[in-house]
Structure 1
Amino acid sequence: MQDAATSDNSCEYCDVDAPAADLLVVAQLCEKVIDTFFEESSNTVAVIHFRRTPAGNDLQTTISELTGIPQGAVNVVVEHLSNLWYDEGSGQSRYGDDDPWFVLKQSMAEPLGYSWREMEESLRSEVRYFNPKALALLDMIFGEITNDRDKEGRSVVLEAGPGTSLKTLYRGRVFQNEGALLSALRWPERFLGSPAVGLGAAGRMNGQGQPAFYGATHPEICIAEVRPPVGSRIALAAFEVIRPLRLLDLRRLATVELRQDASLFDPDTLLAAQRRDFLRTLGDRLSAPVVPEQQDRDYLVTQAVADYLAAHATLNIDGIIYPSAQSRIPDEPPAGDNVVLFRKACDVSSSDGDDNTAEISLWEYEEEGPGRWFRPSIHFISRDTSWHGQREVHSALSLMRDSIVIHDISAVRYCSKPHTVEGVASLNDRHYG
């Protein structure tokens, strides 16, 4: 609004010798801001029929808070708005005869939401790689992500690793036969860590054969995420984060705010507000549950986002931390979160080379008799560390060798929400005219 003020005019409502603007121009600017960022709160059933006090503020207070101008000037702006909103043809005002009240719009995310849905369709049906439509939208959404702050002023990029609160990640792997479990435990750094290039299956944030480390901040999350069948076993281990990592925190996106100096009169604030409201929905979009039959289809978008973040030249994002869809129980606080580390940050130390790192025994046998007990033990072999491969030099994780636990899956429990099917009748019970 300061752009409307000139030194040719002097203010009639204050004693300050400063540039001033015509109040009709101020009213026109306020009209545009109200149309863009606010919605009427006084035209509801609760207000009209039950005489409830509207949410938000009346027009006088809204203009006062928007502009900060003296009350006498506010009165003039309100009068101008009444004239601007009056339609001579119909003889009616846009907001009726009563004094309207206004609240900020709950969400302005829909323009970007529409573009996101267009991007999804384009990735699925047109071009998956080098998709210009997707790249343009991802640039708009994530290009300035390192400058975003949540309502507490924290960056949406979380620091992990030495000296931070996030120094340990947990990872589990399902085994449906004893031989596979035995083979994996002989080299747990390689087979409990991220898969080698070309071996891994596609996941929420990685394509087929593209390495990624899927872990969690709590062991229980790992068990839920791998969806083990009854009768299988899970080998679960903790990994220490041994170098600094930067994780995009989808949890903090839910409360991202505009910059403190953002003005609703600045044309750039409209796009910033739309982006803010869209970012608040992004965590749910990227971490929503996906059933196995839809994985190939629904993972296209999340994989594109991960590729964009991992390859961006200046963002320097190593991974994403996001809520677990599999362990989310209604009305209960989450036990922890998922973490995915991209290729550049998923290597585990001692996972290079050609040799096993441990000797394994799964059973303890009765000295004289057929009895045996499942009692896994592991003895690590000393290795020559004078040679370090490329993965070793750039490792971000180190297996905490004393943390390995084998879980026997004896039962699975589901949380469900039942919906009664109503109006069901036998065909024989129907009557036809």
Structure 2
Amino acid sequence: MAVVHFNRTPAGKDLQTTISELTGLPPDAVDIVIEHLTSLWYDAGSDEYRYGDDEPWFVPKSSMAAQLSHAWREMEESLHSDVRYFNPKAQELLDTVFGELSSDCDKEGKPVVIDIGPGTSLTTLYRGRVFQTEKALIDALRSPERLLGPPVAGIGAAGRMNGQGQPAFYGATTPEVCIAEVRPPVDSHIALAAFEVIRPLRLLDLRRLATVELPAGTSLFDATTRSATQRRDFLRTLGNRLSAPVMPELQNRDYLVTQAVADYLAAHRTLNVDGIIYPSAQSRHPDELPAGDNIVLFRKACDVSEAEGSHATAEVSLWEYEEDGPGKWFNPSILFMDQEAPRHEQRSMHPSLSLKKDSIVIHEICAVRYCSKPYPVERVMSFNDRYDG
């Protein structure tokens, strides 16, 4: 109506420009297409055109993800209330969403499944553990390959991408993100270490899903393009779905879906995905560039070199004492012992990670700072307040 009454410029592009850009046809052919469309849009019963008497203008549809978004919500409900394992509804939808993952690219033509490890730009991951007692910290530092790495099978807590007792390596691309993600209390300590990625690994990059594009040369007149476009638009929202902050009280419920996705990707034979890289929710500050990203490595890719066995591999001291007095100060040190684990404790494996033994840093948490957005509560006057007296 703004166009009709106030002579404003319509949004989008006129029909001739739209047809020309979509098809690449010469002007004479475009005129023929427009004439044919005009006849299709005419309703003889009402003697009116579908888009009115004036030539219509068109804008691209912003998203076609509604159908898959609805299916995703149904899958979530099914996992929560019907069948958690071997859920056919989940299997069918995940096949649709991730089936072509290996060939997906972002707007810059970069694949959404990336390589890390030797010869790539990402060869080091950081991982930290929170300790609230000195004894627990010393015990972990005595076996840092095993106790600063992922928990052994059967004892770990459930996480965003793993079930309870299922090993997974949760790390970060920077120490700052690592500290933010473990959410330490004041007066606790974090033992933070760097791990080298020692063999090639493949990660699904949720950051690139936000700008995934259809393959070059995709025709808008192909019958399969509609479903491909629906999938593309849904993938652009998937990163936020999988990496959004989850309240502690809702972890058991909300982690169920992300755990199902991780299991699907880890077990898929042709995708061959070893883990996921995704934005950090805890370290994200408004109007600032991201400090780094989170990385989770699935069970098949989270073994740490020299982590087998139960024997201590290092001697640890946390304090340095005054020679002739009661004074002491915190000065942690570690001495790695050169010894071979007993043969019966060795196991055949292909580790993905190796602890950088000179990288261990202990952070004492002195204070915690929050970034908040205040919303004042407006007082609404009651009827008696308004008309009292």
Q: TM-score range by the shorter chain?
A: over 0.9
- Structure 1 residues 264-319: Cα deviation after superposition (integer angstroms, max 9, x where no partner): 11110110000000001110000000010010010000000000000011111000
Q: SS of the counterpart of 1:104?
A: coil
2-side partners of 1:167 and 1:391: how far apart?
25
Counterpart selection for 2:104 from 148, 167, 170: 148
Matched, 1:337 2:293: yes
Matched, 1:216 2:140: no
Report what 1:379 is aligned to.
335
Counterpart selection for 1:180 from 136, 139, 142: 136
- Relative to the length of structure 1, the TM-score reads 0.86
Higher relative contact order, structure no. (Cα contacts within 8 Å, ≥ 6 residues apart):
2
**Deviates further, 375-384 or 363-372:** 363-372
CA deviation after TM superposition for structure 1 residue 171, in Å: 0.3
Q: SS of the counterpart of 2:69?
A: helix
Q: SS of the counterpart of 1:128?
A: coil
Report what 1:231 is aligned to.
187
2-side partners of 1:369 and 1:48: how far apart?
91
2-side partners of 1:390 and 1:125: how far apart?
42
- Change in Cα spacing, 1:49 to 1:323, as seen in structure 2 (3 Å) is farther
- Structure 1 residues 391-433: Cα deviation after superposition (integer angstroms, max 9, x where no partner): 663110000010000011111111111112224346863669x
Counterpart selection for 1:254 from 210, 232, 235: 210
- Change in Cα spacing, 1:383 to 1:261, as seen in structure 2 (3 Å) is same
- Structure 1 residues 219-248: Cα deviation after superposition (integer angstroms, max 9, x where no partner): 000111001111111110000000000000
- Change in Cα spacing, 1:158 to 1:388, as seen in structure 2 (3 Å) is farther
Q: SS of the counterpart of 1:407?
A: strand
2-side partners of 1:169 and 1:428: how far apart?
63
2-side partners of 1:274 and 1:389: how far apart?
51
Query: Is contact 1:349–1:391 with CA below 8 Å preserved after alignment?
Result: no
CA deviation after TM superposition for structure 1 residue 67, in Å: 2.5
Matched, 1:204 2:160: yes
Q: SS of the counterpart of 2:358?
A: helix
Matched, 1:274 2:208: no
* Map 1:32-71 → 2, pairs under 5 A: 45=2, 47=3, 51-71=7-27
2-side partners of 1:354 and 1:48: how far apart?
79
CA deviation after TM superposition for structure 1 residue 371, in Å: 1.3
Matched, 1:108 2:64: yes
Counterpart selection for 2:378 from 413, 418, 422: 422
Matched, 1:400 2:352: no
What do you get for the CA RMSD once the two structures are aligned? 1.9
Counterpart selection for 2:256 from 300, 308, 315: 300
CA deviation after TM superposition for structure 1 residue 51, in Å: 4.9
- Structure 1 residues 336-370: Cα deviation after superposition (integer angstroms, max 9, x where no partner): 10000000000101110121111000111112222
- Structure 1 residues 148-185: Cα deviation after superposition (integer angstroms, max 9, x where no partner): 11111111111000000010000011011111111101
Report what 2:322 is aligned to.
366
2-side partners of 1:78 and 1:187: how far apart?
74
Q: SS of the counterpart of 1:348?
A: coil
2-side partners of 1:362 and 1:273: how far apart?
58
Query: Is contact 2:309–2:341 with CA below 8 Å preserved after alignment?
Result: no
1-side partners of 2:66 and 2:197: how far apart?
38
CA deviation after TM superposition for structure 1 residue 81, in Å: 1.6
2-side partners of 1:391 and 1:238: how far apart?
24
Matched, 1:316 2:272: yes
Q: Which AA in structure 2 matches 1:73? A: A
CA deviation after TM superposition for structure 1 residue 54, in Å: 3.7
Report what 1:76 is aligned to.
32
Report what 1:96 is aligned to.
52
Report what 2:145 is aligned to.
189
Counting aligned pairs with the same residue, the percent is 72
Report what 1:352 is aligned to.
308
Structure 2 residues not aligned, in runs of 5+: none
CA deviation after TM superposition for structure 1 residue 77, in Å: 1.8
Query: Is contact 1:197–1:210 with CA below 8 Å preserved after alignment?
Result: yes
- Change in Cα spacing, 1:209 to 1:51, as seen in structure 2 (3 Å) is farther
- Change in Cα spacing, 1:48 to 1:402, as seen in structure 2 (3 Å) is farther
Q: SS of the counterpart of 1:402?
A: coil
Query: Is contact 1:349–1:392 with CA below 8 Å preserved after alignment?
Result: no
- Change in Cα spacing, 1:170 to 1:49, as seen in structure 2 (3 Å) is farther
2-side partners of 1:341 and 1:428: how far apart?
62
